[in-house]
């Protein structure tokens, strides 16, 4: 290996020199980050580190390693069967919490690359941001929030999953920057890194657009219901709107210390959020009936596991941890086994 303009360059004899090992590849990418990324970008070599010190990988940067730890976690696999908005949808084309997460990651990576921020850190935060989401989307979250004395917020639970619950109660031992981005992805929070900020906004860009798309698929909205001003500014289709918002974020952030959407676009996004709140998330009769059933089910499960903590699968879990970790179908299965008479099968 030799150095050239801050980059590690492979010499022709590299393979022989390294004798089958890969020393220097992570260092090469660390140098690459310093040489090419935006001055406000978070550099992996300068991470504040992990709670438990572990040897660095020869090949991957610290943030790449975190991305892989998240992707290989059980909580990540369970996102497949957790509701986004439509509760246990029968149709194959509705978003789940997993496809939402992947859409957030793609949008966030595009913005990060456009601004020369740390794409690996951005991706790790995006893939981990909803790991603590309850079953049944925000209906499930609201139900737990009412039951717990201190309330329940899925961003805090996501941080609890990666810090404590995953890996049989040992946590994933992620870097400080990834945990901060996961913990602070909600609107009311302020992430410490620009990459965390990118994920915070990308989450909204993703869900506002795919929730409109799914609401049209579910015949709750028709494309003409969207207020004209929103369509005129952001675009008429989900792909036009995502494209517009990504470009606005990048163009508005170039050369700035604080990254984000321009003020007028952020305001229109807020109008879209209010429109979705009124017309999709809360204002449907069928949805209201389902909400009541879900709240009752979560409450009964919570009371049951609080009364019989010995039924929890591990000592480190609370009733809320166990319920928040369930997929929609696992929660329904547990409810059925506990509260419904079971048919006798021989």
Q: How far is the CB of 120 from Mg ion (least distance, A)?
A: 19
Q: Which CB atom, from 26 or from 95, has the smaller least distance to Mg ion?
A: 95
Q: Is the CB of residue 209 less than 8 Å from the CB of residue 85? A: no
Q: Is the CB of residue 179 less than 8 Å from the CB of residue 58? A: no
Q: How far is the CB of 204 from Mg ion (least distance, A)?
A: 8
Q: How far is the CB of 262 from Mg ion (least distance, A)?
A: 22
Q: How far is the CB of 138 from Mg ion (least distance, A)?
A: 10
Q: Is the CB of residue 199 less than 8 Å from the CB of residue 126? A: yes
Q: How far is the CB of 156 from Mg ion (least distance, A)?
A: 14
Rounded to whole angstroms, how far apart are CA atoms 72 and 74?
A: 7
Rounded to whole angstroms, how far apart are CA atoms 248 and 241?
A: 10
Q: Which CB atom, from 205 or from 331, has the smaller least distance to Mg ion?
A: 205
Count of other CB atoms within 10 angstroms of residue 150: 8
Rounded to whole angstroms, how far apart are CA atoms 212 and 253?
A: 27
Residues in the site for Mg ion, rule: CB under 5 A? Answer: 130, 203
Q: Which CB atom, from 66 or from 203, has the smaller least distance to Mg ion?
A: 203
Q: Which CB atom, from 71 or from 288, has the smaller least distance to Mg ion?
A: 71
Q: Which CB atom, from 130 or from 328, has the smaller least distance to Mg ion?
A: 130
Q: How far is the CB of 129 from Mg ion (least distance, A)?
A: 6
The residues near 289 (Cβ < 8 Å, ≥ 6 apart) are none
The residues near 244 (Cβ < 8 Å, ≥ 6 apart) are 234, 235
Rounded to whole angstroms, how far apart are CA atoms 92 and 212?
A: 17
Q: Which CB atom, from 79 or from 301, has the smaller least distance to Mg ion?
A: 79
Q: Which CB atom, from 141 or from 203, has the smaller least distance to Mg ion?
A: 203
Q: How far is the CB of 187 from Mg ion (least distance, A)?
A: 11
Q: How far is the CB of 140 from Mg ion (least distance, A)?
A: 14
Q: Which CB atom, from 80 or from 292, has the smaller least distance to Mg ion?
A: 80
Helical H segments across the chain, by residue range: 14-18, 25-36, 62-71, 74-78, 97-114, 119-128, 137-147, 154-160, 166-169, 176-183, 194-217, 228-234, 238-253, 263-276, 285-307, 319-325, 328-339
Which of 36, 39, 61 lies closest to 194, judged by CA? 39
């Amino acid at each position: 290996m030799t150095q050239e303009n801050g980059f590690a360059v492979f010499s022709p004899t590299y393979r022989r020199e390294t004798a089958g090992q890969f020393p220097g590849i992570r260092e090469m990418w660390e140098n690459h980050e310093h040489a090419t990324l935006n001055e406000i970008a978070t550099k992996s070599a300068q991470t504040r580190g992990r709670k438990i010190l572990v040897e660095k990988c020869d090949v991957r940067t610290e943030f790449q390693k975190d991305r892989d730890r998240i992707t290989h976690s059980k909580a990540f696999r369970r996102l497949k069967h957790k509701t986004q908005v439509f509760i246990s949808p029968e149709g194959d084309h509705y978003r789940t919490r997993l496809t939402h997460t992947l859409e957030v990651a793609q949008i966030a990576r595009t913005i990060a690359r456009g601004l020369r921020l740390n794409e690996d850190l951005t991706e790790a935060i995006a893939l981990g941001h909803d790991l603590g989401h309850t079953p049944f989307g925000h209906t499930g979250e609201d139900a737990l929030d009412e039951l717990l004395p201190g309330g329940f917020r899925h961003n805090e639970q996501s941080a609890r999953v990666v810090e404590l619950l995953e890996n049989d109660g040992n946590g994933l031992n992620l870097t400080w920057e990834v945990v901060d981005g996961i913990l602070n992805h909600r609107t009311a929070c302020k992430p410490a890194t620009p990459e965390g900020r990118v994920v915070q906004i990308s989450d909204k860009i993703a869900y506002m657009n795919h929730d409109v798309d799914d609401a049209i698929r579910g015949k709750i909205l028709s494309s003409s219901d969207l207020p004209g001003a929103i369509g005129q500014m952001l675009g008429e289709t989900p792909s036009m709107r995502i494209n517009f918002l990504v470009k606005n974020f990048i163009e508005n952030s170039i050369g700035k210390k604080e990254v984000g959407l321009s003020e007028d676009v952020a305001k229109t996004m807020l109008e879209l959020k209010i429109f979705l709140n009124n017309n999709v998330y809360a204002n449907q009769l069928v949805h209201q009936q389902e909400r009541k059933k879900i709240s009752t089910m979560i409450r009964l499960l919570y009371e049951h596991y609080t009364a019989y903590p010995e039924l929890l699968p591990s000592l480190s879990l609370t009733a809320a941890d166990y319920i928040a970790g369930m997929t929609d179908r696992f929660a329904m299965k547990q409810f059925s086994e506990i509260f419904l008479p079971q048919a006798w099968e021989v």
